[in-house]
């Protein structure tokens, strides 16, 4: 008999805090032992006990083509045979940049890094350096990685200054993070009226994916664009999750608002660690080596990761109606979830943007983090456990987004909806 998930988790707890190398993998919020994955095939993953699951996590977003997509694997293997890393430029960096800029055509230059956290951290430094200001605005419930400036939460009472949300984050740093409410245009305007001359940038997930899926309203985004223009601040769209996911051009497929800086990740690496910062040349050229704002990375533009990204984006760009197909499947899934919940007398709110979807056990629409927190988390835990037993792998948190790959077909969607009917 092979190794069990329970035994693997017990061993992992000897080596890693909580038995994992990223907190949400521990299943702490849903209980039980996380499956230890052995392999992925298309829309499925298999654990070390050989249990098969329909995968709606997809490595937290990157695998829009599914697991082990042949063109991506072939590109990775072919490139790896030449060497894993050189610490020097390769033409693969140019190829991936050209593909990205052909879609995000309002951007002019990029800088590749390895993680989304690193991308947003660099975007903040760039905005502060360009404007000469220190304060940044973020929104409750949006997650932009674990850099110190962004691990801040709202202060008590009417305070707008950030307070550290994790030990190890200095108060003197967190206080430069101003906290506002998502989808609250009036609140953002009030904050700028009070602090506008000190605000370097606004960082926002235009399609929030870390309080569950909560899209920003068009009027809200227009208001932020106008405030940044009026006060000379930089508008940053964090599209690490939504870029090439919600639509080919991410959130820009749903809004006419265009930011000054975009951060990208996940899909552009096709499953390997790649992220990027993009903006107009006048902004990007402030980065070293031609500008004074320092940023560096030993593995930035890693050739194997570049190859995976190129193969993924070429497939996306060359596949007709890919996003229409993904959107139709996401719509079918959340519609099925909603209908099954209604039949059981269970309150459920759903949303989707392209291949991203979310659901809340909530009686009211979810527009911000407070709305999300009002959801029935106990019912989510019960639902998640039941779905896992039925072979459906959902994100192990009420406050994460689900993803559909092109390998998840209509039959698998039907199977998932059928599972949901008996899981509520």
Catalytic residues: 143, 238, 266
Q: Is residue 301 reached through a cis peptide bond, with omega within 30 degrees of 0 on the bond before it?
A: no
Sequence-separated (6 or more) residues with CB below 8 Å from residue 69: 63, 270, 311, 312, 315, 407
Smallest Cα–Cα separation from 261: which of 155, 110, 114? 110
Sequence-separated (6 or more) residues with CB below 8 Å from residue 411: none
Residue 110, CB half-sphere, CA atoms under 13 Å: how many? Answer: 25
Sequence-separated (6 or more) residues with CB below 8 Å from residue 118: 145, 275, 297
CA–CA separation, 160 vs 94, rounded Å? 42
Looking up tokens 């990223």 gives: 22
Smallest Cα–Cα separation from 243: which of 252, 235, 232? 252
**Could you please report the per-residue DSSP string of 348-388?**
-EEEEETTEEEEES-SS---SHHHHHTS-HHHHHHHHHHHH
Smallest Cα–Cα separation from 244: which of 313, 147, 188, 196? 313
Sequence-separated (6 or more) residues with CB below 8 Å from residue 293: 125, 126, 129, 130, 286, 287
- The partner residues of 47 in beta bridges, in order of sequence, read 37
Decide if 61 contacts 241 (C-beta within 8 A). yes
- DSSP summary character for residue 272: B
The CA R_g of the chain, rounded to the nearest whole Å, is 21
CA–CA separation, 170 vs 163, rounded Å? 9
């Amino acid at each position: 008999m092979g190794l069990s998930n329970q035994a693997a988790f017990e061993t992992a707890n000897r080596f890693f805090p909580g038995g994992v190398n990223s907190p949400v993998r521990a299943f702490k919020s849903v209980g039980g032992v996380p499956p230890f994955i052995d392999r992925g095939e298309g829309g499925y993953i298999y654990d070390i006990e050989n249990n098969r699951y329909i995968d709606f996590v997809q490595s937290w977003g990157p695998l829009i083509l599914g697991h082990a997509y042949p063109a991506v694997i072939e590109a990775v293997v072919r490139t790896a045979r030449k060497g894993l890393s050189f610490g020097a430029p390769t033409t693969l960096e140019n190829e991936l940049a050209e593909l990205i800029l052909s879609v995000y055509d309002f951007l002019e230059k990029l800088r590749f890094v390895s993680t989304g956290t690193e991308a947003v951290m660099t975007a903040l430094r760039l905005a502060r350096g360009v404007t000469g200001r220190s304060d940044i605005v973020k929104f409750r419930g949006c997650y932009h990685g674990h850099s110190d400036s962004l691990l801040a939460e709202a202060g008590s009472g009417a305070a707008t200054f950030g307070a550290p949300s994790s030990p190890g984050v200095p108060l003197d740093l967190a206080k430069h993070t101003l906290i506002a409410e998502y989808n609250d245009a009036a609140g953002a305007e009030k904050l700028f009226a009070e602090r506008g001359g000190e605000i370097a940038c606004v960082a926002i997930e235009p399609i929030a994916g870390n309080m569950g899926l909560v899209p920003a309203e068009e009027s809200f985004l227009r208001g932020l664009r106008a405030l940044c223009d009026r006060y000379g601040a930089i508008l940053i769209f964090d599209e690490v999750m939504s870029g090439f996911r919600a639509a080919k051009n991410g959130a820009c497929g749903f809004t006419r608002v265009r930011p000054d800086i975009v951060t990208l990740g996940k899909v552009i690496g096709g499953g390997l660690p790649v992220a990027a910062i993009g903006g107009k040349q006048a902004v990007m050229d402030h980065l070293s080596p031609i500008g004074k704002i320092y940023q560096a990375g030993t593995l930035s533009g890693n050739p194997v990761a570049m190859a995976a990204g190129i193969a993924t984006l070429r497939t996306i760009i060359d596949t007709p109606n890919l996003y229409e197909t993904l959107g139709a499947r996401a719509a079918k899934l959340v519609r099925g979830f909603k209908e099954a919940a209604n039949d059981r007398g269970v309150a459920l709110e759903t949303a989707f943007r392209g291949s991203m979807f979310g659901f809340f056990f909530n009686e009211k629409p979810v527009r911000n983090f407070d709305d999300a927190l009002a959801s029935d988390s106990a019912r989510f835990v019960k639902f998640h456990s039941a779905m896992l037993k039925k072979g459906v792998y959902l994100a192990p948190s009420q406050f994460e987004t689900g993803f559909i790959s092109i390998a998840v077909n209509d039959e698998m969607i039907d199977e998932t909806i059928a599972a949901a009917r008996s899981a509520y």
